[in-house]
Chain A
Amino acid sequence: MKSRLWFALMIIWIAVPLSAVTPDMPRFRWENFTTANGLPDNHVFNVLVDGKRIWAATENGLAVFEDGKWRVFTTADGLAHRAVLSLALDKRTGDVWAGTMGGLSRISAGRIDTFNQLNSGLSNDVVYGVAVQGDYIWTATAAGASRYNTRTGQWSLFNERNTPMYEIWTYGISVGPDKVYYAVWGGGVLEYDIATERWKDYNDPDGENEIVLFRDQGLIHEITTSVSYVDKILWVATYFGDSRYDGRNWHNFLTKDSGLPSNFTNQVKAVDANRAWFSTDKGLAFYDGTNWAVYRPNLKTGAPEMYVRDAEGNITSMATETAPAHNYVLAVDFQGDDIWVATAKGLSHGIRQK
């Protein structure tokens, strides 16, 4: 009897590593919003969670979802431009900042004040990114970075003349307690040290080559689209893969050696030092530090799809009845355990199931 029990335990001990156990990754029920249920446009460039309110940056106005209804701000309300590209919340004041194709707007208790390159010190009207750092509003524009001091009204511009920014098409921003990072489209990553007020650049060691000579040698590519700086870890999205930088070492992610559904990444948004969400042109991906999960309509059939890739590369399809509105994902934001997803054909609310 004793020997049979020991034999049975041995079998279990051997079998566990051999038979892949699907990692427990977040499961969602997806609810999608389009023009059919109140969005002003299905092209949603960005999304921002503001407590119970959800702000959607669309190609045809800024929409806010509150108490089950959408309210839309347009140029008639003072919005800088109908196409809204980026959003940031000043958590201290509750003001929302919106970067548009025609300037920067501040939405404060329903009032919209607009800054553009003609009426203010903003460097350029195309505002791809916006972020709040205390009393400063940082913007990523098509002509460099701008910083607005909300207390004094003063602007500081950063470009090729006063930073290592050799390409001025700034695309994304992430602010931490000590650093501000910029994704420069075609120019890698720029780092601003808040204490020293100095700039430093990070570039692809392979230059503009489309090949990676040495894995994890540095930033994966110069054409960066997004940065996310959380817990002193920098995550970078590019059109040719993604990177994670801990201050000493780079780790790069490509479809060939990770669970990324595509190297073409519009946004990376970190949860913490180890976990991040990737918005790609072939679906939404979550990385928990070891395993990957992908959420999307199936690329061929459009049927809802979720699959998990574990550390060994085993892929398991998960049963799901819903999916984000579209494969082409541009941005996400978090609402507790839920997630909101901006896609090319609608806004999606991922309601966490487990």
Chain B
Amino acid sequence: MVLSLDGRWLYVMCEASDEVRVVDTQTKSVARTVAVGHMPRGIALSPEGTQLFVANSWDDTVSVVDTAQLKVVRTLATGFEPNGVMVDRQGKTLYVANRLSNDVSVIDLQSGQETKRLLAGRGASYLALTPDGKLLYCTHAYPKIGAHRTPPESEVTVIDTQRQEVIERKALHNVAGVFHIALSADGKLGVAPQLRPKNLIPLAHVEHGWVFGDSLAVFGDDVGGVVQVPIDELERYFAMPFAAAITPDKRKLYVSSSGSEAITVIDIPKMIGYVKTAHGPIANDLSASANYVVGRIPVGRNPKGLVLSRDGTRLFVANRLDDSIGVIDTANDVVVSSIDLGGRKDMTSLRRGERIFYTARFAFQGQFSCANCHIDATFDGLQWDLEPDGFGVDIVDNRSIEDLSGTEPFKWNGGNPNLATECGPRTEKYFYRSQSYNSGELADLVSYVMALPLRPNRYRLAGGELTPAQERGKAIFERTKYKNGKPIPQAKQCAYCHSGPKYTNQKLSDVGSGKPTDRSPLVDVPQLTDVAYSAPYLHDGSAKSMEEIWTIFNPHDTHGVTNDLQKDELNDLIEYLRTL
């Protein structure tokens, strides 16, 4: 969401309907609807308020909307999956955070041309401009791909808008997803909601500690450096913190917990004071929040975007899965009204399932939801120690859950024949550690997950034809003979295991990637659809890139025959795989 300069209009992205709905904050109703591109996920207003910029994440474009006419007047090309957008103070340059190309597009608004790309972190998604316009911050949905079985690392990428260069990368240790940044009016305080996963210890320890720590990356002159501040309590969690807003007087900080249907209220002076007097890091101290959290405001389902009115007296909350905007009186921190965005009123199984997917209420102490690991219904870039079989045993890479039909069974060991088993008893036993879904809820959840579409593939040419390199790679993928002419055994042919429309034969196979800590060397043959985006690879995520699957983990041609390939032939194979 973004508010017009006069505070009258609230522009709300509706990603499921590919629209921006224009809300009149006086009449508390939707005044207009503007059709934009597919899956809008980022929005920004020009300095004069005359143009809206909407990042269409599945179109790789930004729609430029004239706010007077309320229609799209221009469409700009971006990188892969634009998710965040911001225009500089002069209104001359547009910055776009691209989630799948892990960079920030710099677009000259006069020419409409992208002038350069700046290297960001993995899953670049959210942008915030400092009040003086000199710096732009970028945060990331996924952690960087690091050494196997090491704590996740993320960063806040800092861009100098005058030089249009990255000038700093604020390291965030033990952090995976990082979301919307809020900045104080004086520019001395920055806050980014973030996830601190405990993926290196068995998930069964959910009742002993956490699976995720919901926290904030706090930075700026007010605190010096970067401090990680928890928002959870000892026995109550506020899952998937997503957006933050700082009141103009810098007294209060609001944080949406999208998995917990709540807005956390933080007393900023208390938080800064506590941070400054704390003895050592507080990120893992669940008792810390009692020192600065002064309220929790119940709101609607899946609260995500937050916007404060210009005078700071009203906080608008996007209740994504209620299709409504909650209005909070910031003097008393209570919801005073709700604005209906006009979504469908009939409740489908898919809609119910989506609500279940995004809520943490089923997990022990409300710790996490499906969406914690499947961010925006994708993946989290992490490897997990899921089962109570000992530390470091059966490590598994988190897989994408798009377009799952025809990819059964589930789990890397193929132990779950269908999604109802995967999401029902397994989730209840190993994940949530609490009474899980009833049969109706489970059916709804399964319906929703099975209906998740496949995101567009960026490596396939329009029309579906292949480049020469991809054609050569396809021939390698489908080959049945070694280069010396001898037949390749069927089980070692790429296209044997990776067969069918999803490129899986839905069976178990030993490709030699098993580790001594795995209970079995047999792994489920994964689907290859959109495999380009889901690094790292192999069942335990030990291959940081597709190349490593074969250059490091296939010394004996047990995972397809690749050792007779030249380097450029291996590159061709990978080029083809990227198109699947």
Interface of A toward B, CB cutoff 8 Å: 92-95, 106, 108-111, 113, 117-121, 123-124, 135, 143, 150-157, 159, 161-162
Chain A hits for B570, CB < 8 A = 121
A152 touches B459 (CB 8 A): yes
Contact check: which of B117, B155, B552, B566 meets A93 at CB < 8 Å? B117
Give chain B interface residues in 551-573, CB to chain A under 8 Å. 551-552, 566-568, 570-571
Contact A151 B571 (CB under 8 A): no
B551 contact set on A, CB distance < 8 A: 117-119
The reply to whether B568 and A159 form a contact with Cβ atoms under 8 Å apart is yes
The answer to whether B575 touches A154, judged by C-beta atoms less than 8 angstroms apart, is: yes
Is the beta-carbon distance between B155 and A157 smaller than 8 angstroms?
no
Q: Which chain B residues (76-90) contact chain A, with CB distance < 8 Å?
A: 79-80
Check if A157 sits within 8 Å of B568, measured CB to CB.
Answer: yes
Chain B interface size range: 35 or more
Asked if A150 and B117 sit within 8 Å, CB to CB, the answer is yes
Measured CB to CB, the closest approach of chain A to B458, in angstroms, equals 8
Q: Would you call the interface of chain A mostly helix, strand, loop, or mixed? A: loop
Contacts of B166 in A (CB 8 A): 93-95, 108-109
Verify if B389 is at the interface (C-beta below 8 Å from A): no
Structural contact, A92 and B574, CB atoms closer than 8 A: no
| Chain A residue contacts of B552, Cβ below 8 A | 118
**Interface-facing stretch out of B3-11, B229-237, B268-276, B540-548:** B540-548
Which residues of B, 50-83, contact A by the 8 Å Cβ criterion? 79-80
- Measured in the bound complex, the distance between the Cα atoms of B168 and A94 in whole Å is 12
Question: Is B451 interfacial (CB-CB < 8 Å)?
Answer: no
15 CB-based A-B contacts, threshold 8 Å: A93-B116, A108-B119, A108-B166, A109-B157, A109-B167, A119-B551, A120-B545, A120-B547, A121-B574, A143-B567, A151-B117, A152-B458, A154-B459, A154-B575, A161-B566
Interface residues of chain B: helix, strand, loop or mixed (majority)? mixed
**Contacts A118-B552, A120-B545: A110 and B168 contacting too (C-beta < 8 A)?**
yes
Q: When chains A and B are docked, how far (Å) is the Cα of A40 from the Cα of B578?
A: 41
A119 with B547, Cβ < 8 A, contacts A94-B163, A143-B567, A154-B575 known:
yes
CB distance from B553 to the nearest CB of A (A): 10
| Closest A residue to B548 using CB positions | A119
Q: How many A-B residue pairs have CB under 8 A?
A: 79
Q: Nearest-CB distance from A353 to chain B (Å)?
A: 32
Residue from B103, B115, B578 within 8 A of A92 (CB atoms): B115
Contacting A at CB under 8 A, from B447-479, are 458-459, 469
Q: Let me know if A151 and B79 touch, CB within 8 A.
A: yes
Pair B548/A121 contact, Cβ less than 8 Å:
no
- CB closest residue in chain A, given B543: A119
Smallest CB–CB gap between B226 and chain A, Å? Answer: 14
Q: CA of A117 to CA of B547 in the docked complex: distance in angstroms?
A: 8
- Per CB-CB distance, the 5 closest pairs between chain A and chain B, nearest first, are A94-B165, A157-B568, A109-B166, A118-B551, A92-B116
**B457 → chain A, closest Cβ, in Å?**
12
Bound complex: CA of A162 vs CA of B469, how far in Å? 12
Q: Kindly state the separation between the CA atoms of A118 and B546 in the bound complex, as whole angstroms.
A: 10
CB-nearest residue of chain B relative to A155?
A: B571
Interface residues of B in 281-337 (CB under 8 A from A): none
Give chain B residues whose Cβ lies under 8 Å from the Cβ of A109. 157-158, 165-169
> With the chains together, A156 CA to B470 CA distance in Å?
12
Residues on B with C-beta less than 8 A from A162 are: 568
Contact A121 B169 (CB under 8 A): no
Task: Name, among B165, B548, B551, the residue most crowded by chain A CB atoms within 10 Å (CB to CB).
Answer: B165
Given A93-B165, A152-B101, A157-B568, A118 and B119 contact (CB-CB distance below 8 Å): no
| Contact A161/B548 with A109-B166, A135-B117, A152-B101 known, Cβ cut-off 8 Å | no
Bound-complex Cα distance A161 to B469 (A): 13
Q: Which residue of A lies closest to B468 (CB)?
A: A162
- Whose C-beta in chain B lies nearest to the C-beta of A94? B165
Contacts of B167 in A (CB 8 A): 94, 109
CA distance A152 to B101 in the complex (A): 7
A residues within 8 A CB of B566? 161
B182 to chain A, nearest CB (A): 23
B200 at the interface (CB under 8 A from A): no
Which residues does chain A contribute within 8 Å of B574, judged by CB atoms? 121
> Apart from A117-B567, A151-B103, what 5 extra A-B contacts exist at CB < 8 Å?
A93-B118, A110-B169, A118-B551, A118-B552, A119-B545
Residue of A at shortest CB range from B166? Answer: A109
Q: How far is the CA of A162 from the CA of B468 in the complex (A)?
A: 12
Task: Check A111/B545 contact, CB under 8 A, given A119-B551, A151-B117, A155-B571.
Answer: no
CB contacts (< 8 Å) of B547 on chain A: these are 118-121
The CA of A93 and the CA of B115, in the complex, are separated in Å by 10
The reply to whether B155 and A111 contact each other, CB–CB distance below 8 Å, is yes
Cα distance A111–B118 when bound, in Å? Answer: 13
Knowing A121-B571, A143-B567, the reply to whether A111 touches B169 (Cβ < 8 A) is yes
Residues of B within 8 A of A94 (CB): 163, 165-167
A342 to chain B, nearest CB (A): 25
Cα A93 to Cα B167 in complex, Å, equals: 10
Q: How far is the CB of A137 from chain B (nearest CB, A)?
A: 12
Look across to chain B and name the residue whose beta carbon is closest to the beta carbon of A123: B567
Complex Cα distance, B574 from A95, in Å, reads: 26
Q: How far is the CA of A119 from the CA of B566 in the complex (A)?
A: 15
How distant is the Cα of A152 from the Cα of B457 in the complex, in angstroms? 12
Instruction: Point out the residues of chain A lying under 8 angstroms from B165, CB to CB.
Output: 93-94, 109
Q: Provide the residues of chain A in CB contact with B169, threshold 8 Å.
A: 108-111
A263–B158 Cα distance when bound, in Å, is 48
Could you tell me the distance in whole angstroms from the C-beta of A114 to the nearest C-beta in chain B? 11
Contact B568 A123 (CB under 8 A): yes
Residue of B nearest to A120 (CB): B547
Tell me whether B101 and A151 are in contact (CB under 8 A). yes
Residues of B contacting A118 in the complex (Cβ-Cβ under 8 angstroms):
547-548, 551-552
Closest to B459 in A: A152
For A95, A109, A113, A150, the residue with the greatest tally of chain B CB atoms inside 10 Å of its CB is A109
Task: Determine how close the nearest CB of chain B comes to the CB of A144; give it in whole angstroms.
Answer: 8
